Amino acid sequence: KREVTVAAAPIHYAAAPAPVAHAAPAAAPASMPSDPATIVARAGEEVKSPMVGTAYLQPAPGSDPFIKAGDKVKKGQTLLIIEAMKTMNHIPAPRDGVVA
Domain ranges of the chain: 53-98
Average pLDDT over residues 66-73: 89
| Overall CATH class of domain 53-98 | mainly beta
Q: Measuring CA to CA, how many Å separate 13 from each of 10, 16, 17?
A: 10, 10, 13
Q: What is the mean pLDDT of the chain?
A: 75
Whole-number Å distance between alpha carbons of 92 and 22: 27
Average pLDDT over residues 70-80: 91
49 neighbors 55 (Cβ within 8 angstroms): yes
Mean pLDDT is highest, among 15-19, 20-24, 46-50, 75-79, for: 75-79
pLDDT for 18-37, tens place per residue? 566 666 665 555 455 555 55
Assessment of whether the complete model's pTM goes beyond 0.75: no
- Which residues are CB-neighbours of 24 under 8 A, at least 6 positions away? 54
Whole-number Å distance between alpha carbons of 46 and 42: 7
Whole-number Å distance between alpha carbons of 88 and 57: 12
